[in-house]
Amino acid sequence: MNKIEHIGIAVKDIEKSNKLFSSLFNKEPYKQEEVKSENVLTSFFQTGESKIELLQATHEDSAIAKFIEKKGEGIHHIAFDVTDIHAELKRLEKEGFKIITKEPKKGADNKLVAFLHPKSTNGVLVELCQEIVAED
């Protein structure tokens, strides 16, 4: 794993949260994006080498809606940048980690993503992210 790519924060109202974090960081989000496959609206802030991702549910059955219902707003996951997500998933599975996403999928901010189950990571949802490189 190369670095912390971002910290995901579940929020009820992304516009209110954008204002809050814009005040906190003294800058606007650099990107907003809907990820329909996950039923979320995302907003990204750059903070040094890492990012903060705000996540608002767009459907009541989404993972973010369920998270907020159970735990309230707050830190949802920590994402790590990896060079080869497929190799990293194989390595982690061999190490005994429980993999939620067996096959990486397209996520927000031009990334392939996969998740590790919190039961195998001391209660923390871990996301692996690999930059999608455009082919010529």
What is the rounded distance in angstroms from the CA atom of residue 1 to the CA atom of residue 28? 28
Q: What pLDDT, on a 0 to 100 scale, did the predictor assign at position 135?
A: 64
Average pLDDT, the chain: 95
Q: Which amino acid is at 34?
A: E
On the question of pLDDT at 49 being above 80, the answer is yes
What is the rounded distance in angstroms from the CA atom of residue 23 to the CA atom of residue 30? 14
| CA 12 from centroid of its chain's CA atoms | 16
Reported as a single tens digit per residue, the pLDDT across 57-108 is 999 999 999 999 999 999 999 999 999 999 999 999 999 999 999 899 999 9
Q: What pLDDT, on a 0 to 100 scale, did the predictor assign at position 46?
A: 96
Contact 14, 58 (CB under 8 A): no
Contact 56, 12 (CB under 8 A): yes
| CA 108 from centroid of its chain's CA atoms | 8
What is the rounded distance in angstroms from the CA atom of residue 121 to the CA atom of residue 99? 10
pTM for the model:
0.91
Q: What pLDDT, on a 0 to 100 scale, did the predictor assign at position 128?
A: 97
